[in-house]
Structure 1
Amino acid sequence: EGLVESRRRAGVFVKEHPDRVRLTVRARQIERDELGYFSGPEVQHWRALPWPDGERTRVTEAPVPADVAEILGAEAGELLTVRKRMVGDPGREEHRQLADSWIGSWVTEEIPAMRGDTGMGGMYDRVEEWAGRALTWREEVSARMPSPEEAEALLMPAAGVPLLRAVRITTLPGRGRQDARVVEVQDIRMSSALFAVGYPLPRGASAKWPVTPATSDYYSAPPVSEDGDTDESL
């Protein structure tokens, strides 16, 4: 569970482990300032950190992971442009995240700057300038264990602490007869020992206020299937 660590020739030690009260809760919303877009007020002051070779954004072509490929409509293992960054708090060394931006092949064909320096405002500004309309975003949050390279880059304990993973999907809405297209899938990873994700829960159409009084008992009502029908066999 990541509560202890073994140190060679020294013994087994209880690790410092932040409790949940001290987790930094990350809001998931898109904001903007003079530098461009950023994801939530907690990270407005964060900046790109240098990799060991001094680069701040690594741009390369690499085989796209299967889950990312499915979202982009690509083949698993297809070579796509990926922009890799390590972003963090200049005042707190351990507060950092990895962010890999996998870019759809149609985007790099239309906007060659995606393979290099994207200039002021970054890649989102270049896409919106090219398209003449606003991008939209959604995220899928999950968790998994880190690779050794990820744990080292994020200054995580040697074992036992999972990654908090937010997969952000950037979409260019359709216009006229043109369908919406996925521009980018950004794979964001951070330590779950330091961060949590917080977001508001909007009311759906069925829960719009004022609400209709309940008419069934929660403990005796039959379950409802995914298509909304009552199913006594569920």
Structure 2
Amino acid sequence: MAAQYEEIARDLRERIVSGEYPPGSQLPMMRDIAAARAVSDITVRKAFALLAQEGLIYSRRRAGTFVREHPDRIRLTVRHRQIERDGLGYYSGAEVQHWRALSHPDGVITKVIEAPTPADVADLLGCDAGAVLTVRKRIIGDPGNDSHRQLADSWIADWVASEVPTVTGDTGFGGMYDRIEDWASRPLVWREEASARMPSPEEAEALNMPSQGVPLLRLVRVTELPGVTPPAPSRVVEVQDIRMNAALFAAGYPLRRGQSATWPVAPATSDYYAAEGNTPSPHE
């Protein structure tokens, strides 16, 4: 049996999703809901906290509680994950060609520091978690829209910092990738993983997004330098940790056919549904 606060949250959630309480509208006061349901203010407060955690509502100091614009009801900007290039150098996706590097709160545009490597980044770089590496920290965004921005931390492999020292300072026209390709005389390649997590207070402030109820879209991009001749292995050059507001942005990837799905395909030889009593396949 659901607790009273869960029942209240369910009722309010249904009203929000149905549009009875549209985005931007104010919810009834907690004390009014408590009186109508004959429950304590604490019970209603727990229901509101649950909806805030889900990203459905937010509070304004001395103003009340309001329905948040939610990703399910707005058109997200799809960030197409493809490397492009123009006169300024490489960038990821046509949607952000006009984006530029923005200043940090202290006025610095690119912070180049030495810092302990996060465990997941270290794993991709092939170094020990906590190893001190060079990281280039940037805020990149739309100069005309304060909420359209991303954080981008470029963790540079130790061997790159040693062989191409310009990546630890002013990289000049084209940036870090151009300097590495100039040095190697061959092109870099990229791969990327997408995930989500809640932002830290510092991340939320830098991205001009709520500190609660809205997750980050996190894209971890791995830059590799292919071997000179196969089967010489690729070397990881950099891992870039990109974070943006998941209420505003989605990542779009092409779905390519794997080797097993090369056209023309062989005829299917079994029925997905028959074995499980017409239960749809998890592949669909």
Query: Does TM-score exceed 0.5, indicating one fold?
Result: yes
1:206 aligns with 2:263: no
What are the Cα deviations for residues 173-228 of structure 1, in whole angstroms up to 9, with x where unaligned?
01247531100000000001000111211111221222221111112469xxxxxx
Q: Give the Å deviation of 1:7.
A: 2.9
Whose radius of gyration is greater, 1 or 2? 2
**Of the candidates 99, 103, 115, which is equivalent to residue 156 of structure 2?**
103
The higher-RCO structure (CA 8 Å, 6+ apart) is 1
Number of equivalent positions: 222
The residue matched to 1:211 in structure 2 has which SS?
coil
Are 1:151 and 2:204 counterparts? yes
Report the equivalent of 2:251.
197
| 2:271 equivalent in structure 1 | 217
Task: Give, in angstroms, the shift of residue 19 of structure 1.
Answer: 3.8
Cα drift, residue 55 of structure 1: 1.1
In the superposition, relative to structure 1, how do residues 204 and 137 fare at CA in structure 2: closer, same or farther (>3 Å)? same
Matched, 1:125 2:178: yes
Take 1:118 and 1:59, find their aligned partners in 2: how far apart are those partners? Answer: 11
- Is the 8 Å Cα contact of residues 84 and 91 (structure 2) preserved in structure 1? yes
Match of 1:61 among 111, 114, 137: 114
Q: Which amino acid aligns with 1:23?
A: L
- CA shift for structure 1 position 20: 4.8
Q: Which amino acid aligns with 2:125?
A: L
With over 3 angstroms needed to count, the CA separation of the structure-2 counterparts of 1:163 and 1:18, relative to structure 1, is same
CA-to-aligned-CA distance 1:136-156 (integer Å, 9 cap, x gap): 000000000000000111111
2:78 is matched with which residue: 25, 38, 50?
Answer: 25
Identity of aligned residues (%): 72
1:6 Cα shift?
2.4
Report if aligned partners of 2:220, 2:239 keep a CA contact under 8 Å in 1. yes
Report 1:45-56 matches (<5 A). 45-56=98-109
Q: Distance in 2 between matches of 1:137 and 1:158?
A: 31
Question: Is the 1:5–1:158 Cα contact (8 Å) retained in structure 2?
Answer: no
CA positional deviation for 1:13: 2.3
Which runs of 5 or more residues in structure 2 are unaligned? 1-53, 277-284
1:18–1:214 distance in 2 versus 1, CA, 3 Å: closer
* Contact 2:151–2:244 (Cα < 8 Å) also in 1: yes
- Distance (Å, rounded) in 2 between the aligned partners of 1:18 and 1:104: 36
Q: Does the 8 A contact of 1:171 with 1:184 survive in 2?
A: yes
- What TM-score do the two structures reach when normalised by structure 1? 0.90
Question: What is the DSSP-based 3-state SS (H/G/I as helix, E as strand, rest coil) of the residue aligned with 1:92?
Answer: coil
- Which residue in the other structure is 2:226 paired with? 173
In structure 1, the residue matched to 2:131 is 78
Gaps of 5+ in 1: 223-234
List per-residue Cα deviations over 1:31-88 (Å, max 9, x = no partner): 1111110001001110001111111100000000000001101111111000000000
Q: Which amino acid aligns with 2:270?
A: S
Contact 2:199-2:211 at 8 Å conserved across structures:
no
Within the candidate set 56, 69, 75, 1:16 is matched to 69
Tell me by how many angstroms 1:165 deviates: 0.4
SS in 1 for 2:177: helix
Which segment is superposed worse, 6-15 or 129-138? 6-15
Aligned counterparts of 2:70 and 2:143: Cα–Cα separation in 1: 22
User: Whole-Å Cα distance in 1 between the matches of residues 93 and 119 of structure 2?
Assistant: 28
Any idea what the Cα deviations from partners look like across 1:79-103, whole Å, max 9, x if unmatched?
A: 1000000000112111000000000
- Distance, in Å, in 1 between the alignment partners of 2:197 and 2:253 is 21
Check whether the contact 1:170–1:184 (CA below 8 A) recurs between aligned residues. Answer: yes
